[in-house]
Amino acid sequence: QLTEEEIEIITQWIRKGSDFQLRVADLSPDDTLRQIANKIFTKAEMAEYDFDEADPSTIEKLNTVNRVVVSEALGSPALAVNFFNSKLFSSDQLKELSTVKKHVVTLDLAKMPLKDDDIKIISEFENLRRLNLGFTGITGATLVELKKLKFLKTLTLSGTQVNAEQLKQLQSFPELKTVYTWNTPVAATDMEKLQQQIKNIRFETGFRGDTIILKLSPPVLLNEEDFITAAVPLKLKHYIQGATIRYTMDGSEPDSVKSPLFKGNETINSNTQIRAKAFKPGWISSDLLEANIYRNTYTPDTVIYLAKPNEKYQDETGKFLIDRQKGEADFRFGNWVGFRENRMEFILQFAAPVTVQSITLSSLVDVGGYIMPAKSFEIWGGEDAKNMKLLGRLVPEQPSEVKPSVMKGFECKFNKTTVKYLKIIGIPVAKLPAWHPGKGDKAWLFVDEVLVN
């Protein structure tokens, strides 16, 4: 819900032609929009802190693929911390911030699988000003712990299970000014009462309109494992009350009528492509959630490359293909083994013979990045490395147009065979097709994992 001041800003901006390049500094001093802006910027917090900068080496160690720790502003000792990947999150990552806990003034934990006990850890960040707990797993049971944060000004609780009684406790928080509470179980009438009772806090509940059709966000996959060795429950969730989830496991697009309704008792026991969408009457259905979970029965002991990967995308540890660590959607961030000049050819060696009937190669297809499915895969195997026979061959379907990148598993099935050695051969596409911007160039073949079942 916009304030009168915000409405006036938008009105003045529209009168000036809705120019996204408009700068306040270019307006005349007596311009209404500039005067409003000057008032806002004058009120803006010019924080001064009574602590020195943290050791840069400490900050560097705290930065990971899931956690970013940066200075709040140039020359400021204050730090802002953001978490990004719910699958990689753990409470220990909060505890690790104890070395800079007095420096953290902004903490963004939106959509992380927080527990109520984690609030006690957060309450130790003594100089925290802004805290985002939106769409986390907290219930509000330990919310009062945050009262220790004597500088906390902004708190986001949207999408959590907090109730009205718990929100009343915020009245005693010394510096709290704004609380975001949209999409919580608290009824609109209760929120109005709270706002009347607690004058020192502004509760932002979001826009409420009966004429606006909103679009649902995609469902959330809560399964943390990309690779499984036994049957596991399928865990899907949506944070909008009343939303239903429909899914498929056959590669088809979920719809609101024919696709199975997610009930919570579904299991996964094999290579599975999960596609799911959220639906709710009066709402636009969500975008598609798409994820792959792979079954892996046997993990080889050794990978022996018979053809060298490209020097830019080598297997630095010798374990990339069997470490059960997925590559990133952006291939530049590692964990991918890439082939272009040479074909992909390597041997998997097992400590003891195993009985196998399928091999899955987890690959990246990024047509715009010249990364295509292999022209073909061959699987050879035997109990003797010098006497292997062809077990199976797979010819993947090639793209016919440029599409967004996708991670895809290519599974080659064959008759059950006992082996101690497997040889995998993948042939990169020699020439990109005529419709491709790089037509005639060699394509890349990228693989991050080999699954043996």
Asked whether residue 382 is domain-assigned, the answer is: yes
Predicted local distance difference test score (pLDDT) of residue 2: 63
Q: Are residues 336 and 412 in the same domain?
A: yes
Domain boundary among 280, 295, 310: 295
Asked whether residue 244 is domain-assigned, the answer is: yes
Q: Are residues 336 and 416 in the same domain?
A: yes
Q: Where are the beta strands (DSSP E) in 127-240?
A: 130-132, 154-156, 178-180, 202-204, 220-221, 227-228, 232-233, 236-237
Specify whether the CB–CB gap between 341 and 310 falls below 8 A.
Answer: yes
* 342-363 per-residue burial string, b: 16 or more CB within 10 A, e: under 16: ebbbbbbebeeebebebbbbbb
Distance CA 408, CA 291 (A): 9
Asked whether residue 213 is domain-assigned, the answer is: no
Predicted local distance difference test score (pLDDT) of residue 4: 66
Q: Are residues 193 and 255 in the same domain?
A: no
Asked whether residue 315 is domain-assigned, the answer is: yes
Total domain count, the chain: 4
User: Is the C-alpha dihedral spanning 433, 399, 218, 88 positive or negative?
Assistant: negative
CA-angle at 128, arms to 126 and 133, nearest 5°: 120
The H or E element containing residue 128 is none
Distance from CA of residue 398 to its chain's centroid? 28
The residues with which 305 forms a beta bridge, in sequence order, are 346
Q: Are residues 186 and 244 in the same domain?
A: no
Predicted local distance difference test score (pLDDT) of residue 329: 80
CATH number, residue 373:
2.60.120.1190
CATH number, residue 192:
3.80.10.10
Q: Are residues 199 and 106 in the same domain?
A: yes
Domain boundary among 247, 275, 295: 295
Q: Are residues 63 and 192 in the same domain?
A: yes
Residue with tokens 């220990």: 92
Predicted local distance difference test score (pLDDT) of residue 42: 44
Distance CA 236, CA 214 (A): 21
Distance CA 362, CA 378 (A): 15
- Reading the block at residue 12, the tokens are 């003045």
The H-assigned helical ranges of 44-154 are 56-62, 91-95, 118-122
Domain boundary among 171, 204, 237: 204
Q: What is the pLDDT tens value at each position of the chain, 453 positions in all?
A: 566 677 778 877 777 777 777 777 677 766 777 777 766 554 444 457 888 999 999 999 999 988 999 988 777 899 999 998 888 899 999 999 999 999 999 999 999 999 999 999 999 999 999 999 999 999 999 999 999 999 999 999 999 999 999 999 999 999 999 999 988 999 889 999 999 999 999 998 865 554 456 889 999 999 988 999 999 999 999 988 889 999 999 889 999 999 999 999 999 999 999 999 999 988 899 999 999 999 999 999 999 999 999 999 999 888 999 999 888 888 887 789 999 999 999 999 999 999 999 999 999 999 999 999 999 999 999 999 999 999 999 999 999 999 888 889 999 999 999 999 999 999 999 999 999 999 999 999 999 999 999
Predicted local distance difference test score (pLDDT) of residue 37: 72
User: Is the C-alpha dihedral spanning 199, 204, 209, 210 positive or negative?
Assistant: negative
Asked whether residue 200 is domain-assigned, the answer is: yes
The residues with which 348 forms a beta bridge, in sequence order, are 303, 422
Distance CA 223, CA 87 (A): 8
Which amino acid appears at position 149 of this protein? L
Q: Are residues 131 and 14 in the same domain?
A: no
Q: Are residues 69 and 144 in the same domain?
A: yes
Asked whether residue 426 is domain-assigned, the answer is: yes
The H-assigned helical ranges of 138-259 are 164-168, 188-197
**Domain extent for 173:** 56-204
Asked whether residue 390 is domain-assigned, the answer is: yes
Q: Are residues 343 and 276 in the same domain?
A: no
Q: Are residues 66 and 197 in the same domain?
A: yes
Specify whether the CB–CB gap between 301 and 319 falls below 8 A.
Answer: no
> Which residues, in sequence order, are CB contacts of 28 under 8 Å at separation 6+?
34
- Reading the block at residue 427, the tokens are 């042939």
Q: Are residues 176 and 119 in the same domain?
A: yes
Q: Are residues 259 and 290 in the same domain?
A: yes
Exposed/middle/buried for 290, CB within 10 Å: 0-12, 13-18, 19+? middle
Asked whether residue 51 is domain-assigned, the answer is: no
CATH number, residue 286:
2.60.40
